[in-house]
A and B are shown apart, each in its own frame.
Chain A
Amino acid sequence: MMDVILGALFELLTPERMMFMMLGVSVGLVIGVLPGLGGIAGLSLLLPFIYGMDPTSALAMLIGLVAVIPTSDTFSSILMGIPGSSASQATVLDGFPLAQKGEGARALSAAFFASMIGGFFGAIVLTASVLAARPIILLFGSAELFMLTLFGLSTVAALSGGNLAKGVASACLGLAFGMIGAAPATGEYRMDFDTLYLSDGVPLVIVGLGIFALPELFNLLRGGGAIAQHNPMGTGWIQGVKDVLKNPWLVLRCSGIGALIGAIPGIGGSVVDWIAYSHAMQTTKDTSQFGKGEIRGVIAPESANNATQGGALLPTLLFGIPGSGSMAIFLAGMILIGLQPGPAMADRNLDVTYTIIWSLAIANFVGTLLCIALAPGIAKLTTIRYALIAPFMIMVISFAAFQATRSVYDLMALFAVGILGLFLRRFGWSRPAFLIGFVLSLGAERYLYQAVQFSGWEFVTRPVALVILALTALSLWAGLRRSQSNVNTEGAADESRATSMLPQVAFTGLLLVFFGWVILEGLKNSYLAALMPVVVGSLGAAAVLLVLVFQARGATTAGTTNFDQEASATDNGPWPFVGWALGFLALTLLVGFFAALAMFFVAFLRVVARCGWVQTLLLTAAACGFLLILASSLNLIFPGGLLQEHYDLPWPLR
């Protein structure tokens, strides 16, 4: 056993193989820093080079990339308030306020250090369990997976913001969005307006970017200044490491949660950070700082999301079942170099498995060091006027969005969800609750139906299912106990008591109409496909009605349902900038993405950022050049518009 483990290490430690790993780590670092782009985009970049490579080098390169992304994606979550990838959405909630307070260094070093420990934890779990994991993974059938989705949904109680009814309604809204597309039980298409695009459902990356990144971007633009008003980094490097060391059990528990959820195929890593975050909330005595810059809210998701990768490798290697989108591409890479995952990975090909584990551990270590080394430089971005950064962010976010299906509909969906996110943020409807509902929606429906089909309603009495049910009850209790204590995921409540209730009531009314529509659309289907939309629609409508009743009683009696961030705003709100974004979209529909982007850059930099011509043209050229390099290495054709429909233009205008 030991000789196989050490043999795999020496196998890996040749200059050539380490060089390939460093290549993977470097690409992962860059891709992770760019908001919205994660493991899927990074691995797609490397995939064309895999063929014909030495298998160990290829594995080291791919794993190097996978390992570093949950570490490097922290940069944009903490410094920009934009999730670097779907793995670190929860980090934004407390990481960004810390950066705005001038404690960016502390947040980053705590995040990196926690990430590294989480990564090591994942590698250790993988080492220890690769021989014994098969029966454990087999324990989780549809019944247990359904219970896990319930457990995930129970975190809504903790994440619902200041008002539980609003939290439940937000989660139902997310659940309803998640149901767009084919119903799991019958394959009927729901709420898809008969379009091919929506028949696949709205892609997760688009919902994540739209709901979190765009509203943040518009509001930062309003401020007119830079992100960090003071010294962006501060001197908290040591403090951050100390913070992690002060919370050893939190780090270990969250790493454990990450590795376990990652290892169970079917739930997906995209809720791990939220589960860890709400766990941190439930186990902290004083929750008053959550959402305002609580360091435990950074440590928890960051230790969990790196551990997830180690866990996710288990089903990928042992069963050939990818636990996440990036694992699916990793699997394709393995097949291309002639390795077929399966039981042999814990037996005949055990050396390959240990090569992968070592790569994971080493890449986590190297990745953390690189991130720390690069941090001061990258952090300088937060001192730059945001008007100069915003067009780059819009470029990267829309580029990341249209990675989803590579069509112009991705951009439309992005901006549509973005506007929804803007309202949710403004009126204090919990966006984390929305996202959790969205991610778990199809899973909950699918596994409930399958569990009942496989074992009847007795499925609830299966032992593992009972254990998860107990945990769910515990999480609900802990979450509800805290929900009274004013934990606001959407900003300070005290400044958001409006005197005019009209905008809020109008939005609440709109939500009520939406839930009514969900019920009607649901009823168009056969019983099995109608059940979930009708239940979710009714639940959502009930919660919204409750909110509406409170809000209708006037500004003061509305209590916690009264929340409007624009209550004391004196400017035009984010709308001028939304107009810019929509203008960019309209231009894309007209002349195609690339040309529209160049025009948008010039116009935005001249008008909003008030740059001189030289600076404008230089920045535009840099942006276009960067985009062209990325697109040509991914063999992408940009989404076209009317112009492209009528004329056959050369790439990149094609």
Chain B
Amino acid sequence: MTIIGRRGLLGAAALGAALPARAQAPVDFAGRTIEFVIPFAEAGGSDVWARFLAPFLSRHLPGRPTVIIRNVPGGGSITGANDWAARARPDGSSIFGSSASTQLPFLLGDRRVRYDFAKWTPLIVSPTGGVVYVSSRTGISRTDQVAQLRGKELVFPSQGATGLDIVPILALHMLGLNVRYVFGMRGRGDARLALERGDASIDHQTTPAWLTQVVPMVQSGAAVPLFSYGVQDDDGKIVRDPSFPEIPTFEEVYKAMHGRDPAGQEYEAYLACSVAAFAGQKPAVLPKETPAPIIAAFRKAFQDAVADPELIARRGDILGDYRQAVGPAADRLYATATTIAPEAREWVRTFLTQNHNARF
């Protein structure tokens, strides 16, 4: 640990010395190997995302270095993030792919977290979306009938209250719906099956699964979308998701039900968690103390990569229809996804402890 600290200082010193002189040689990674660290095992969303981006990153970095994926699994991504925070050299040889599972424990103040997003700089942020939907067995057949669900007991199959599902938990709480959570689902796929089978009545899915698995159910009249989590526009406002522009955002549904915009600590907490889990769910980062020219080279490479016609042609379900946030847009999204007001954090911790036995 002490060594890292010194390395960090050295990096910062190099940065300070290099900038005013403007004599630094242009950044060139020719012949180098850059590792893209993913805090999960092979397979799964983050791994696929990194494997998809890696060849484009390589192509657009100066000197066309080799980009390899390094999987560091364990602790639901906390292990890999802790490890990278302690070890990464600030020289551009290693970038880190964060995810919702890395950001949420940080926001909630999980005591096992030893990393700090404020010490990292985002290079790209890949959004995704999510939709909360109900089975038509609940008696509604259209999105605008959501008010009829009031008072009915809905059953939500969940993986756990402190993971991705915290977003619908907070949203449904604010809408004032009566939801019973059944925990211990092994994945969103199992949850979807429980709804399809009739065991559960309300669920949420991320964009790729929504499009391929749930849309057929909507078309056959078995499922009804309630709201999406939306995406952030250039002013930081939540707007409808481009993948399903016909589905209203949570904010719209809230206003329709309560007659006012959502606000207060609970909404602040919801917004931080929602952006961390969806609209800003996958940032790639470098340590902040990395020399500025190297950071600039990476940011430029990601900017060029997302404009690459081949990437656009192949993005399919991996990146979806979302605008990949690079440059200032990445900074804005990253900031929303990785910061939470202390009072809002306290509120959500108390909420989870009292309602769902969570311990921090």
Contact = CB atoms under 8 A, between A and B. Distances in A.
A631 B255 CA distance: 55
B178 interface: no
B79 A407 contact: yes
Contacts of A344: 212
Nearest to B35: A635
Contact of B193 (A321, A332, A405): A321
Nearest to B73: A405
A342 B214 CA distance: 10
Given A51-B52, A335-B317, A320 B213 contact: yes
A407 B78 CA distance: 14
Interface stretch (B17-25, B196-204, B246-254, B275-283): B196-204
B107 to A, nearest CB: 17
A538 interface: no
B69 A635 contact: yes
B310 to A, nearest CB: 10
A455 B357 CA distance: 22
A162 interface: no
B123 to A, nearest CB: 20
A187 B183 contact: yes
A265 B3 contact: no
A454 B155 contact: yes
A454 B185 CA distance: 12
B76 interface: yes
A44 B299 CA distance: 29
Interface stretch (B42-50, B167-175, B286-294, B329-337): B42-50
A255 B155 CA distance: 37
B150 to A, nearest CB: 22
A344 B184 CA distance: 28
Interface string B307-319: 0000000101110
A141 B194 contact: yes
Nearest to A342: B212
A554 interface: no
B161 interface: yes
A176 B196 CA distance: 33
B160 A329 contact: no
A463 to B, nearest CB: 14
A153 to B, nearest CB: 18
A449 interface: yes
A173 to B, nearest CB: 23
Nearest to A196: B75
Q: Which of B70, B189, B200 has the most CB of A within 10 A?
A: B189
A407 B83 CA distance: 11
A332 B213 contact: no
A336 B318 CA distance: 8
Contacts of A127: none
B317 A340 contact: yes
A341 B41 CA distance: 20
B97 to A, nearest CB: 14
Contact of B44 (A141, A187, A328, A453): A328
B27 to A, nearest CB: 21
B285 to A, nearest CB: 19
B197 A141 contact: yes
Contact of A188 (B47, B112, B357): B357
Nearest to A454: B199
B138 to A, nearest CB: 15
Contacts of B236: none
Interface string A312-355: 00000001111000001101100110101111100000000000
Nearest to A183: B184
A142 B71 contact: no
Nearest to A452: B182
Given A200-B75, A635-B68, A186 B357 contact: yes
Interface residues of A, number: 55
A187 B161 contact: yes
B189 A319 contact: yes
Contacts of A649: none
B213 A142 contact: no
A199 B75 contact: yes
A266 B3 contact: no
Contacts of A48: 51, 68-69
Contacts of B82: 196
A214 interface: no
Contacts of A652: none
A440 to B, nearest CB: 14
A405 B82 CA distance: 14
Given A187-B358, A336-B48, A450 B182 contact: yes
A63 to B, nearest CB: 16
Interface in A168-227: 182, 184-188, 196-197, 199-200
B48 A332 contact: yes
A634 to B, nearest CB: 9
A197 B73 CA distance: 10
A493 interface: no
A478 to B, nearest CB: 31
Given A138-B197, A186-B357, A332 B155 contact: no
B47 A332 contact: yes
A343 B212 CA distance: 8
A43 B44 CA distance: 13
A204 to B, nearest CB: 13
A528 B356 CA distance: 12
B147 interface: no
Contacts of A340: 208, 211-212, 316-317
Contacts of B69: 48, 635
Nearest to A326: B43
A138 B196 contact: yes
Contact of A138 (B78, B193, B213): B193
B358 A635 contact: no
A637 interface: yes
Contacts of A319: 189, 192-193, 213
A562 to B, nearest CB: 42
A285 interface: no
Nearest to A145: B190
B154 interface: no
Interface string A39-83: 010011001101110000000000000000000000000000000
A342 B317 CA distance: 13
B183 A184 contact: yes
A606 interface: no
A407 B74 contact: yes
Contacts of A335: 48, 208, 317-318
A449 B185 CA distance: 11
A185 to B, nearest CB: 5
B54 to A, nearest CB: 8
A47 B42 contact: yes
B62 interface: no
A446 interface: yes
Contacts of B182: 449-450, 453-454
B162 interface: yes
B42 A329 contact: yes
15 contacts: A47-B51, A51-B55, A137-B193, A186-B183, A186-B356, A187-B358, A196-B78, A319-B192, A320-B189, A329-B43, A336-B48, A340-B208, A342-B216, A450-B157, A450-B184
Shortest beta-carbon contacts, A-B, top 7: A184-B184, A321-B189, A342-B212, A332-B43, A328-B43, A405-B74, A329-B43
Given A138-B197, A332-B48, A336-B318, 12 more contacts: A40-B42, A48-B68, A52-B55, A137-B193, A196-B112, A200-B74, A321-B190, A335-B48, A340-B212, A405-B73, A453-B155, A648-B89
Interface of B: 3, 35, 41-44, 47-48, 51-52, 55, 68-76, 78-79, 82, 89, 112, 155, 157, 160-162, 180, 182-187, 189-190, 192-194, 196-197, 199-200, 208-209, 211-213, 216, 314, 316-318, 356-359
Interface of A: 40, 43-44, 47-48, 50-52, 137-138, 141-142, 182, 184-188, 196-197, 199-200, 265-266, 319-322, 328-329, 331-332, 335-336, 338, 340-344, 405-407, 446, 449-450, 453-455, 526, 528, 635, 637, 646, 648
